[in-house]
Amino acid sequence: MHIPDGILPAAVCFGGYATTGAITWYSLRKINQKDDPREGIPKASLLTAAFFVASWIHIPIPPSSVHLVLNGLLGVVLGYYAFPAILIGLFFQAVMFQHGGLTTLGVNATMMGMPALLAYYLFRLRTVLGRKGNRLGDRKGRPYQALTGAFGFLAGAGGLGIAALIAVALLITTIPTYLDVEAERASIYALTLAHVPLMVIEGTFTALVVLFLQRVSPELLGD
Amino acid sequence: MKLGLDEYGHLDSLLHQWEPKYKLVGLMGLILAFSFVQDPRLLPAMLAITLALYALSRLPLSFLIARLRYPGFFLLMVAILLPFLSGSTVLLRIGPLAVRQEGCLDLLLVASKFVSILTLSLILFGTAPFLDIIKAMRSLGLPFVLADMTLLTYRYIYEIGDDLERMQTAMGLRGFQARYLGGRVLRVLASLAGSVLVRSYERSERVYKAMVLRGYGQPTRPSAEPRSRFGDLAWLFAFLLLAAGFIAAEIVLRQGQG
Amino acid sequence: MEYQPQQVKPTNPDDPALSVSDLTFSYPDKDDVLRRLSLEVRPGERVGLIGPNGAGKTTLFLLVCGVLKPDAGEIRLFEQPVAPGKFRPDIGMVFQNPDDQLFCPSVRDDVAFGPANMGLPRAEVEARVREALSTAGALELADRPPHHLSGGEKRMVSIAGVLAMRPRLVVYDEPSASLDIHSRRRLIRFLQASQETILIASHDLELILEVCDRVVLIDEGRIVAKGDPTEIMDDVELMEAHGLERPHSLAPHVEPHHERPRVARHF
């Protein structure tokens, strides 16, 4: 759902650059506040590359297949590095595969990156809820699997859903059509609803990966 | 796995010789100016300049076609709706559908802008090693977090891509086929993705140690600025002038209509 | 933290290059990885570290380089205490997997990484890059991306990246792992010709025999034996008691022993 070059008016593109610039600035500030911002860079970079590669995995939907977006999962794992990671990932996709665009880099980054950050905040909720003394986690302060799975699902589905909503809304409102406002709104809802099956797949997949990580390498989830 | 555009980066053309830093600013300026164009009367000029620049770059036509093919196809799939949705002047009716004039112009506009902008970006990234472009961005002020992340990501995409391929081969050799959408398939693919993530994470810890051992984090001297030749600046000026020209023309034409 | 070039003290040949005393270290999930380990290495010596997996060899290297902080004990490098986290280009470490160490998109940039962080002027950095690459025999690879290199080439480039800092002590972690025969021979010749003080951890016992003056056998975080490589590695009981084997070249070639055991095969 990356928006390619040529469709959006320049004003929207500039707006996209502005919002991406602001969120990037905010993310970098948060990163630089850490004791050693450089320590997280190799981890974030290699995980960015890993996500880039992981999104090449074909999920079969007969008769063909889809690639997942995984922005929700990226937010869960990378935290404040998620937005720069998405920006860089999108840049590589645009340059290497002509997927997405350079003028629309700002728009695409905000569209995918903001839900990633929201997914991060949402998942933090799960960590807080699952801590010691709470019925949702075990005595050692580790959140239960069910809780982790549920929040993983929400992060994945939400990540895709919000991005899809923004993409659809942008496209419909910027392309001059003969549809009136109500029809526009209706078509936005309809097109977003059409993404629900994908949201379910993305959510399920995210939940499964998150559960895998919880078992194998919980530090990646911040546990 | 061809992941860069560098295949023709070693050729010799005026565009290849243009210092990456100025090339970046000049071409991006023109790209942004093109994105501003809404008036169909500017399209011939836009396309002419684009094609002239491509010819100047000595990049092969096959390269352009190969790169434009799939994205162009997908764009067309979406944009083909425009003549049926956009505008009010009906040109002809095909059954219940109405082909509208404004929509046809919109389609032409979208297609032309797409082709022009993509061609210019192929020129930008195809006439210099990718690495040099990142260094140029760094010298233009890209924050170190982004620059370091970009370089490291670029370096390890190949390795991690190889990891994935190897794991998929191994899975295939043990009989796994992702043919249907089901619980087991998703679980296996999720483990695959998870493994890629964990391996990359573990590698990143070793990479960080290796970087620290060779002094990562020490303040470094700023690398020497490449000497800007007159030609580099002249080209930059020309490009920015051209970009400004398009924007001005667009504004004038819009006012004329309004 | 800012790197200050240390006052160059003339190397007193009597001072040990490395002295480790009572070094103790545990990981959060693994206790007693190193237990009161003491070791001394003289300048110019080539010491081989052998031992089973998990014995603590890599951990020892990371502690000596200052990447990890010891729980107890002291480490001195050329008579200066090692401060964890402080950048000391007089020691260099060659990692087991060269991909972990070649993190720049081009060979030239990677080899320049160390000298650049030492604050050297650009011309000096370039000179060091050339010097290191030619010592490692990899000068023609300078402008290649690391991804396109073979295993042996990656190995030599990663060594060049460390040599560019002109370390006085170089620590090698399994340097011949996954090298083909030709590359391995090249590595052995390189190690035999090197001027620095060297510590090599390796399962490649034949390499250790060919390169090292002294061998240290480590198991379960303690030094079990140290001394002449041939003497130690010829002690079959000792080697097998610590998860190792006598290197084949030391086996007396008197009785025929190249027979493969006959196992019944059913098809």
**B160 Cα to chain A: minimum distance (Å):** 6
Burial of C170 per CB tally in 10 Å (0-12, 13-18, 19+): buried
The interface pTM score, or ipTM, of the predicted complex is 0.91
User: Is B172 found in the same domain as B50?
Assistant: no
**B213 Cα to chain C: minimum distance (Å):** 7
Residue B6 has pLDDT above 80, yes or no: no
Chain A CB contacts of B193 under 8 Å are 54, 57, 70, 205, 209
Instruction: With residue A64 as reference, give the H or E element that holds it.
Output: strand A64-67
Residue C241 has pLDDT above 80, yes or no: yes
Taking residues C123-130, report their average pLDDT: 94
pLDDT the model gives residue A141: 61
| Cβ count near A71 (within 10 Å) | 32
Residue B124 maps to a domain: yes
Residue B1 maps to a domain: no
- Give the C-alpha separation, B38 to B253, whole Å: 10
Identity at C262, one-letter amino acid code: R
Q: CB B204 to CB A43 under 8 A?
A: yes
Residue B226 has pLDDT above 80, yes or no: no
User: Is B234 found in the same domain as B209?
Assistant: no
CATH topology of domain A10-221: Arp2/3 complex 21 kDa subunit ARPC3 (1.10.1760)
Mutate to test the interface with C, among B144, B155, B165, B201 (most CBs of C within 10 A): B155
Contact between B89 and A120 under an 8 Å Cβ cutoff? The reply is no
Residue B236 maps to a domain: yes
- Give the C-alpha separation, C23 to C76, whole Å: 11
Taking residues B40-44, report their average pLDDT: 90
Q: How far apart are the first and last CA of chain C?
A: 66
Residue B221 maps to a domain: no
Residue C51 belongs to domain spanning: 15-85+199-244
pLDDT the model gives residue B225: 66
Closest CB to A217: pick one of B152, B187, B201. B201
Residue B195 maps to a domain: yes
- Tell which residue, A133, C77, A16, A185, has the closest CA to residue B35: A16
| Cβ count near C28 (within 10 Å) | 5
Q: What is the rounded average pLDDT for all residues in chain B? A: 86
What percent of chain C lies above the pLDDT cut of 70? 95
Residue A180 has pLDDT above 80, yes or no: no
- Give the C-alpha separation, C65 to C171, whole Å: 9
Query: Of the ranges A136-140, B47-51, B249-253, C15-19, which one carries the lowest mean pLDDT score?
Result: A136-140
Chain A CB contacts of B217 under 8 Å are 36, 38
Q: CB A102 to CB B28 under 8 A?
A: yes
Most confident residue range from C13-22, C38-47, C109-118: C38-47
Residue C7 has pLDDT above 50, yes or no: no
Residue C10 has pLDDT above 60, yes or no: no
User: Is B195 found in the same domain as B70?
Assistant: no
Query: Of the ranges A143-147, B115-119, B161-165, which one carries the lowest mean pLDDT score?
Result: A143-147
The secondary structure of A164-205 as a DSSP string is: HHHHHHHHHHHS--S--HHHHHHHHHHHHHTTHHHHHHHHHH
- Tell which residue, B205, B134, B148, has the closest CA to residue A85: B148
Residue A45 has pLDDT above 50, yes or no: yes
Residue B219 maps to a domain: no
User: Is B64 found in the same domain as B156?
Assistant: no
Query: Of the ranges C157-171, C231-245, C253-267, which one carries the lowest mean pLDDT score?
Result: C253-267
Query: Of the ranges A46-55, A107-116, B97-106, C14-23, which one carries the lowest mean pLDDT score?
Result: B97-106
Residue B1 has pLDDT above 50, yes or no: no
Q: How confident is the model at residue C1 (pLDDT cuts 50, 70, 90)?
A: very low
Taking residues C223-227, report their average pLDDT: 93
Taking residues C158-175, report their average pLDDT: 94
Residue C102 maps to a domain: no
Residue C76 has pLDDT above 80, yes or no: yes
Interface of chain C against chain B, CB under 8 Å? 1-3, 62, 65, 67, 85, 87, 89, 92-93, 95, 97, 99-106, 109, 113-114, 116-119, 121-122, 146-147, 161-162, 165
Residue C162 has pLDDT above 90, yes or no: yes
pTM here? 0.85
Sequence-distant (≥ 6) Cβ neighbours of residue B249 within 8 angstroms: B39, B42
Q: How far is CA A74 from CA A49, A54, A71, A79, A117, in A?
A: 11, 11, 5, 8, 9
Q: How confident is the model at residue B219 (pLDDT cuts 50, 70, 90)?
A: confident
User: Is B94 found in the same domain as B206?
Assistant: no
Identity at C175, one-letter amino acid code: P
Phi, psi for residue A187 in degrees, rounded to 5:
-70, -30
Residue A185 has pLDDT above 90, yes or no: no
Instruction: With residue A59 as reference, give the H or E element that holds it.
Output: strand A58-61
Q: How many structural domains is chain B composed of?
A: 2
**How many residue contacts between A and B have a Cβ separation below 8 Å?**
219
pLDDT tens-digit readout, B60-103: 899 899 888 888 888 888 788 778 777 777 778 877 777 888 78
Closest CB to A88: pick one of B79, B118, B149. B149
Phi, psi for residue B193 in degrees, rounded to 5:
-60, -45
Chain C CB contacts of B218 under 8 Å are 1-3, 87, 117-119
b/e code A102-117 from CB counts within 10 Å (16+ = b):
bbbbbbbbbbbbbbbb
Give the strand pairing for A58-61 and C91-94: unpaired
Domain ranges (residues) in chain A:
10-221
Q: CB B212 to CB C87 under 8 A?
A: yes
Q: How many structural domains is chain C composed of?
A: 1
User: Is B133 found in the same domain as B31?
Assistant: yes
Instruction: With residue B249 as reference, give the H or E element that holds it.
Output: helix B230-257
- Tell which residue, C99, C47, C105, has the closest CA to residue B155: C105
Chain C CB contacts of B2 under 8 Å are none
Q: What is the rounded average pLDDT for all residues in chain C? A: 89
Residue B233 has pLDDT above 50, yes or no: yes
Contact between C215 and C229 under an 8 Å Cβ cutoff? The reply is yes
Q: How confident is the model at residue C93 (pLDDT cuts 50, 70, 90)?
A: very high
Contact between A204 and B183 under an 8 Å Cβ cutoff? The reply is no
| A50 vs B82: which has the higher pLDDT | A50
Burial of B133 per CB tally in 10 Å (0-12, 13-18, 19+): buried
User: Is B15 found in the same domain as B126?
Assistant: yes
Taking residues A6-27, report their average pLDDT: 93
Residue C148 maps to a domain: no
| Cβ count near A118 (within 10 Å) | 17
What percent of chain A lies above the pLDDT cut of 90? 54
pLDDT the model gives residue A111: 95
User: Is B244 found in the same domain as B147?
Assistant: no
pLDDT the model gives residue C2: 42
Residue C223 maps to a domain: yes
- Give the C-alpha separation, A48 to B196, whole Å: 11
pLDDT the model gives residue C53: 87
Residue C104 maps to a domain: no
Residue A139 has pLDDT above 70, yes or no: no
Instruction: With residue B61 as reference, give the H or E element that holds it.
Output: helix B61-79
- Give the C-alpha separation, B163 to A33, whole Å: 34
* SS3 state at B98: strand
Residue B181 belongs to domain spanning: 143-213
The CATH number given to whatever domain includes residue C80 is 3.40.50.300
Q: How confident is the model at residue A178 (pLDDT cuts 50, 70, 90)?
A: low
Taking residues C184-201, report their average pLDDT: 94
- Output the CA angle B124-B127-B129, nearest 5 degrees: 100
